[in-house]
Structure 1
């Protein structure tokens, strides 16, 4: 009985919240107001962050756009996860962002692998009973 309750709503709800938190925190630090990126966010993408790919590291293309897209996704996707709406898609997008973060900060893999595991669990098993996806009929029992 306890296992059914945990797998039905507690575990997926905690997974959604746990995955949302680090991205939300990163996102709110990129903004000075509504649609107003702070200079630090742009600076990071233009001067500090590099993609560690073979033959690199390489600078991010269009750093202002990258900061805007990243900051927007880091606000919107965690909100979707917390309320459990389009949860699998939000988790997939955060999984993709995790891969990019890993390419940017390769030494952060112990944390990044936990984000990836949470995202993959949500993609595979869904948001659970306590979600708007369930209420809206996007996810079934």
Structure 2
């Protein structure tokens, strides 16, 4: 953070902007990283919950979607999901486990990378969702891959215990 004594004195609007920028720069990086972890985790976790009727009991809806409705849109063609039941199980497990890891801040970079890959697969499955959903999810996941979970994550404790 910049030392306040080294800043030139500003008055009026310029001074208000300079003070606001200092205030915003003082926000600990851990807070927006925590917010990103939650913001990315929630939609995936909610989606994962719809795929299950009980412990490892795939819902009929999930089986139907992966087996009949979902198609991979590649180079202008549509292809059925290979191994649709396995894909539904994999997506359902990942959509529960990876968001929980994100919220805890445990293996944050790997969890975010997993959700980034899932977002890419979702993009080729539902191409019209890119602007409203997939692009923001990808941006959040990529930010967490690059910066990690921050100080309010269990990753720091995990690394400290490994030393």
**Corresponding residue for 1:122?**
144
CA distance in 1, matches of 2:110, 2:41: 13
* Distance apart, 1:5 and its partner CA: 3.4
* Distance apart, 1:55 and its partner CA: 4.9
**Corresponding residue for 1:31?**
52
Deviations 1:52-111 (A, max 9, x none): 001520000111111000000000000000000000000000000000000000000011
CA distance in 2, matches of 1:5, 1:123: 21
**2:60 is aligned with 1:49:** no
Aligned 1:1-141 pairs, distance under 5 A:
2=23, 3-7=25-29, 9-110=30-131, 111-137=133-159
- RMSD of aligned residue pairs (Cα, Å): 1.2
TM normalised by structure 1 equals 0.93
Deviations 1:114-135 (A, max 9, x none): 0000000001111000000012
TM normalised by structure 2 equals 0.81
Q: Which of structure 1's runs of 4+ aligned residues deviate more than 3 A? A: none
Bigger relative contact order (CA 8 A; separation at least 6): 1
After superposition, the Cα gap between the structure-2 partners of 1:116 and 1:72, relative to the gap in structure 1 and judged at 3 Å, is same
Greater Rg over alpha carbons, structure: 2
